[in-house]
């Protein structure tokens, strides 16, 4: 075993050029912890927000970005059961996944789903778990309802399209380019519309027989919020998932009043901590959906670890369709 491993690290938060690929000393895992040799890590917009120091949950320095990965168990600490050296696993961590090795608590690991490669599995947990919690737990999406997904070609948006379809909803995707709309349709959406198109609200009204949409999944925020909220049906629900636009919108409360509508926040980190039994049930449901072929990984691009800066830029700019994945040597 090598005495060191490489990780992308910075001593201050900032853009990709603040980060360097550095050698770190390998240490034995402590009690209840597992060391994993990472095969592939996924990067999201939220990961890049944390790397810039802009995430509401502040991390400690020095900082290594990346919160999700797939790999092989390399060593286990005391009082660890249910996992053994050599097991292929997926993992979720607050940070540290953009590295060749990570040490995390054993409960943060799950077996690698059968039939998936590490590159495919690296990014399937957080986004899909967010989508399932949002749509099923928070939004109570029912078969036959209409779901509007903003940012439908992004990592979490593409997961919401697939999960909404798996639940049995009619999925309408909103995306900013023809390429992204085509991707959303291929990913399972029944219809796709342009963010900036004139008459978008009227088109949505026509699509829904004048009733409006039952549920909006919004990881974007910004200028798309007002029109999407106004497109809700009576007793519609609006899921605030994130603010990839960089702007947090405000809600005139009279809009919620006249529509009898609900604005619902979605925060997967706190959900996992405060509702662990439901979170584990959701994980099992997701893994079964992947095993049955109901869900499939949506990957935009795969980078080498040496090209980490390009991967971080791609995860930040939102131009790709699906998740950004970094493959280790």
DSSP state of 137: I
Asked if 173 and 189 touch (Cβ cutoff 8 Å), the reply is yes
DSSP character string of 227-244 = HHHHTEEEEEEEEE---T
pLDDT recorded at residue 2: 56
CA-wise closest residue to 191 among 201, 182, 202, 179: 182
Domain 126-269: assigned CATH number: 3.40.50.720
For 287-320, write each residue's pLDDT tens digit: 889 888 899 888 989 999 999 999 999 998 877 7
For 59-83, write each residue's pLDDT tens digit: 788 999 999 999 999 999 999 998 9
Residue 314 is inside which H or E element, if any? helix 308-317
For 16-56, write each residue's pLDDT tens digit: 999 999 999 999 999 999 999 999 999 988 899 899 987 66
Asked if 54 and 73 touch (Cβ cutoff 8 Å), the reply is no
pLDDT recorded at residue 229: 93
Provide the CA 92 distance to its chain's centre, in angstroms: 11
Residue 184 is inside which H or E element, if any? helix 178-186
Asked if 141 and 164 touch (Cβ cutoff 8 Å), the reply is yes
pLDDT recorded at residue 199: 66
Average pLDDT, integer, range 184-204: 84
pLDDT recorded at residue 70: 96
Which CATH fold would you assign to the domain 4-123+297-327?
A: Quinone Oxidoreductase; Chain A, domain 1 (3.90.180)
Counting beta carbons within 10 angstroms of the beta carbon of residue 91, is it exposed (0 to 12), middle (13 to 18) or buried (19 or more)? buried
Domain boundaries, the chain: 4-123+297-327, 126-269
């Amino acid at each position: 075993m090598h005495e060191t491993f490489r990780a992308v690290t910075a001593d201050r938060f900032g853009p990709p050029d603040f980060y360097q690929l550095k050698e770190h000393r390998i240490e034995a895992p402590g009690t209840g912890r597992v060391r994993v040799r990472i095969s592939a890590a996924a990067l999201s917009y939220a990961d890049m927000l944390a790397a810039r120091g802009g995430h509401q949950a502040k991390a400690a320095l020095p900082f290594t970005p990346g919160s999700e990965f797939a790999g092989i168990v390399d060593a286990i600490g005391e009082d660890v059961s249910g996992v053994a050296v050599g097991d292929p696993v997926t993992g979720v961590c607050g940070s540290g996944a953009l590295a060749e090795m990570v040490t995390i608590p054993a409960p943060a690991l799950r077996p690698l789903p059968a039939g998936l490669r590490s590159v495919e599995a690296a990014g399937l947990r957080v986004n899909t778990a967010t989508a399932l919690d949002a749509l099923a737990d928070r939004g109570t999406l029912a078969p036959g309802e209409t779901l509007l997904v903003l940012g439908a070609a992004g990592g979490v948006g593409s997961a919401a399209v697939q999960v909404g379809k798996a639940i049995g909803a009619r999925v309408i995707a909103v995306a900013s380019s023809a390429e992204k709309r085509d991707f959303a349709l291929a990913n399972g959406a029944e219809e796709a519309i342009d963010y900036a198109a004139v008459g978008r609200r009227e088109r949505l009204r026509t699509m829904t027989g004048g009733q409006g949409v039952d549920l909006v999944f919004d990881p974007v925020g910004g200028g798309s919020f007002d029109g999407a909220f106004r497109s809700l049906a009576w007793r519609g629900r609006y899921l605030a998932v994130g603010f990839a636009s960089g702007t947090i919108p405000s809600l005139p409360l009279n809009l919620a009043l006249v529509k009898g509508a609900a604005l619902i926040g979605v925060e997967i980190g706190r959900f996992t901590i405060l509702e662990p039994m439901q979170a584990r049930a959701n994980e099992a449901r997701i893994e079964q959906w992947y095993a049955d072929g109901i869900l499939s990984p949506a990957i935009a691009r795969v980078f080498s670890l040496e090209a980490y800066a390009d991967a971080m830029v791609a995860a930040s700019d939102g131009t790709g369709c699906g998740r950004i994945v970094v493959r280790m040597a």
